[in-house]
């Protein structure tokens, strides 16, 4: 499944079953014994990587930092990851854009993963005293997806672009900035 | 080419040549007489729709409104368009996400169209006295693409989400708000 996930990440959901099986080192027959269809294999491979996604963006570790710092850390990590030549954007967003079918099992997995990201933002926004945590969380997820779409497609360089943007949204939502914390640079925003 | 563009918009770039030809009502032979490859057909169909994209989002008409109003209008139109059941997001972003190949002719067309959107934002940001017009313009394009990715994939409902977000970025960048203009609602932002 790891091999299948990597294959889809590089080549998109249109990758053939033969290529998937070759990458995974299994016969088509074995694959169809394990999964009802390519759709199910795709969904399972995305589901398997979901904990890695949460880990990669620090959604799980509660390390005592402020809500503002935890939210901005997601975008710092996104900027850092996008600098790798292997970066092709968020696989969950890519699958949703490519499939164009909300009933596809892989679409549903992707939606769940992104709902968890939004829930993380909402929880931190609530802890941090944001005016409208739900709206802020949805807007932050939109920034995350916009950045990963443009960064992954090499339409944009994310470094220095995304963290200041998230900081502006946090400021406007009234998420308190602690003076002891590192300030996001590159944009002068009013402290609230 | 219109038929081809519609076909790709609904089914993605993976749509077969047979389906494209059937939609366009031409034989494969005729298609290959006109275009060297499916890639070239795809690029040509996207290029043909580029003026429609600029028209749809009011990038061309200089109607005397303020830079702030012209920028926000793009996002109002995006919110309105996304409410249609036929909306599948921005075709240029979708093609970039799906192709994963910056050298594909259709990728280059998409990049050009989005560069023109960014140039529109930058020009208005300059006219409006923004602190860093280039950074603001890139961030607005990122919002546009994030919104169209999530809205097109039905991962999000854009209404009431995107315009306030753009307004926050304009406020933070120091783009003047004219008191006579309609205020974007749903988010209390500091007037600058």
**How much is the pLDDT for A175?**
92
Checking if the pLDDT of B186 tops 60, the result is: no
Checking if the pLDDT of B187 tops 50, the result is: no
Report CA-CA distances (Å) from B3 to A139, B36, B51, B145, B175: 34, 18, 17, 24, 41
**How much is the pLDDT for B98?**
92
**How much is the pLDDT for B190?**
47
For A37, residues 6+ apart whose C-beta sits below 8 A from its C-beta are none
Checking if the pLDDT of B23 tops 90, the result is: no
Inter-residue contact A128 to A110 (CB < 8 Å): no
- pLDDT interval class at B182 (50, 70, 90): very low
Gyration radius of chain A over CA positions: 18
Residues of chain A with CATH 1.10.10: 1-48
- pLDDT interval class at A190 (50, 70, 90): very low
B162-180 residue pLDDT tens? 999 999 999 999 997 765 4
| Higher pLDDT pick, A101 / A110 | A110
* Cβ count within 10 A of residue A16: 11
Inter-residue contact B186 to B103 (CB < 8 Å): no
Write the CATH number of the domain with boundaries A56-180.
Answer: 1.10.357.10
Q: Using a CB cutoff of 8 Å and minimum separation of 24, what contacts does A172-175 make?
A: A172/B168, A172/B171, A172/B172, A172/B187, A172/B189, A172/B190, A173/A125, A173/A130, A173/A131, A173/A132, A173/A133, A173/A135, A173/A136, A174/A129, A174/A130, A174/A131, A175/A67, A175/A68, A175/A71, A175/A125, A175/A128, A175/A129, A175/A130, A175/A136
For A2, residues 6+ apart whose C-beta sits below 8 A from its C-beta are A45, A48
Tell me what the mean pLDDT of segment A32-53 comes to.
Answer: 90
Domain A1-48: CATH class, spelled out: mainly alpha
Task: Suggest the residue from A103, A110, A165, A185 to mutate for an interface test with chain B (most B CBs closer than 10 A).
Answer: A165
Tokens 């043909």 appear where? B48
Q: What is chain A's length?
A: 192
B84-127 residue pLDDT tens? 999 999 999 999 999 988 999 999 999 999 999 999 999 999 99
* Cβ count within 10 A of residue A60: 10
Q: Does B39 touch chain A (CB under 8 A)?
A: no
**DSSP assignment, residue A58?**
T
- pLDDT interval class at A15 (50, 70, 90): confident
Distance in Å from the first CA to the final CA of chain B: 47
**DSSP assignment, residue A91?**
H
**How much is the pLDDT for B178?**
63
Tell me what the mean pLDDT of segment B51-74 comes to.
Answer: 91
**How much is the pLDDT for A139?**
98
Q: Which residues of A touch B141 (CB under 8 A)?
A: 150, 156
Which residues 74-93 of B are in CB contact (within 8 Å) with A? 88-89, 93
**How much is the pLDDT for A182?**
47
Q: Does A96 touch chain B (CB under 8 A)?
A: yes
A125 three-state secondary structure: helix
Question: ipTM beyond 0.85?
Answer: yes
Tell me what the mean pLDDT of segment A172-178 comes to.
Answer: 84
**How much is the pLDDT for B188?**
46
**How much is the pLDDT for B176?**
75
Tell me whether residues A165 and B142 touch, CB distance under 8 A. yes
What is the sign of the dihedral through the CA atoms of B157, A163, B176 and B69? Answer: negative
- pLDDT interval class at A186 (50, 70, 90): very low
CA A168 to chain centre: 20
Inter-residue contact A150 to A87 (CB < 8 Å): no
Tell me what the mean pLDDT of segment B12-27 comes to.
Answer: 85
Write the CATH number of the domain with boundaries B50-172.
Answer: 1.10.357.10
Q: Does A15 touch chain B (CB under 8 A)?
A: no
Q: Which residues of A touch B164 (CB under 8 A)?
A: 135, 139
């Amino acid at each position: 499944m790891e091999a299948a996930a990597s294959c889809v990440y590089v080549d998109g959901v249109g990758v053939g079953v033969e290529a998937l099986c070759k990458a995974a080192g299994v016969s088509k027959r074995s694959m169809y014994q394990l999964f009802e269809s390519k759709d199910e294999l795709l969904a399972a491979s995305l589901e398997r990587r979901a904990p890695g996604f949460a880990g990669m963006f620090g959604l799980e570790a509660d390390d005592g930092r402020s809500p503002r710092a935890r939210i901005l850390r997601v975008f710092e990590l996104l900027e850092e990851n996008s600098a790798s030549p292997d970066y092709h954007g968020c696989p969950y967003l890519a699958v949703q854009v490519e499939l164009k079918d909300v009933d596809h099992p892989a679409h549903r997995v992707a939606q769940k993963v992104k709902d968890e990201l939004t829930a993380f933002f909402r929880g931190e926004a609530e802890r941090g005293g944001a005016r409208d945590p739900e709206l802020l969380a949805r807007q932050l997820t939109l920034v995350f997806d916009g950045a990963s779409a443009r960064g992954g497609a090499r339409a944009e360089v994310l470094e220095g672009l995304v963290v200041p943007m998230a900081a502006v949204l946090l400021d406007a939502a009234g998420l308190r900035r602690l003076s002891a914390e590192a300030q996001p640079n590159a944009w002068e925003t009013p402290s609230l």
